[in-house]
Chain A
Amino acid sequence: DAKTTQPPSMDCAEGRAANLPCNHSTISGNEYVYWYRQIHSQGPQYIIHGLKNNETNEMASLIITEDRKSSTLILPHATLRDTAVYYCIVSGMAYKYIFGTGTRLKVLA
């Protein structure tokens, strides 16, 4: 699986968009990009995934660059409840994920 690089921490003002970057320059053609988040010490929660097209769901949007070497998770209107650690995972095996250390997002009131 490709290795991912994320900034260790970010702040975002409440109500503003939170843009979380992820670098995955060694991604292979069959590998998906997945995003999860972990609020406090709960189990991680799936957010969104993509292969090469941009994706949007009720939680977030995922923007993948054309060369697929990086992606950005966008939370359009961050709330205090979005404060969490966000993990970017790249995997070609649906049954095996390798988590990195993630980005700790703090949403400020």
Chain B
Amino acid sequence: NAGVTQTPKFQVLKTGQSMTLQCAQDMNHEYMSWYRQDPGMGLRLIHYSVGAGITDQGEVPNGYNVSRSTTEDFPLRLLSAAPSQTSVYFCASRSPTGPSRYGYTFGSGTRLTVV
């Protein structure tokens, strides 16, 4: 199992550009989430999903869109990048059942810089 895979690992965008951060998990987890982490800060929830076709907003959803067409994939789209979106983005997944149901598995992150 690869766990939670995030691509790309690093990205530099110009202000106003759009892009999609990819997140894929191979553990058949129903719950998936996107977080951002600014330097020296804790993680803030952007969007989350409890299953295919179901998404909802977290603490800081503005400027981001998500979709969940399959259980495996949960892409995060930046509509028009701004310098304030410079951050490290983490994707996470978990199953609501089974022995691992209480612990989210996190990806290794995407480091995004907007200039």
B50 contacts which chain A residues (CB < 8 A)?
95
Binds A, one of B11-19, B37-45, B61-69: B37-45
Q: Is the CB of A43 within 8 A of B90?
A: yes
A34 contacts which chain B residues (CB < 8 A)?
102
Binds B, one of A13-21, A23-31, A64-72, A98-106: A98-106
Q: Is the CB of A42 within 8 A of B109?
A: yes
The answer to the question of B22 belonging to the interface, with a C-beta cut-off of 8 Å to chain A, is no
- Which residues of A56-109 are within 8 A (CB) of B? 87, 94-102
Q: Is the CB of A98 within 8 A of B59?
A: yes
In the complex, which of the residues A32, A43, A96, A99 contacts B44, with contact meaning CB atoms closer than 8 Å? A99
Range for the number of chain B residues in contact with chain A = 20 to 34
- Which residues of B23-76 are within 8 A (CB) of A? 31, 33, 35, 41-45, 48, 50, 58-59
Interface residue total, chain A, C-beta cutoff 8 A: 20
In the complex, which of the residues B31, B58, B103, B107 contacts A43, with contact meaning CB atoms closer than 8 Å? B107
In the complex, which of the residues B42, B59, B102 contacts A46, with contact meaning CB atoms closer than 8 Å? B102
Q: Is the CB of B43 within 8 A of A44?
A: yes
B contacts, CB < 8 Å to A: 4, 31, 33, 35, 41-45, 48, 50, 58-59, 88, 90, 92, 94, 96, 101-109
A contacts, CB < 8 Å to B: 32, 34, 36, 41-46, 49, 87, 94-102
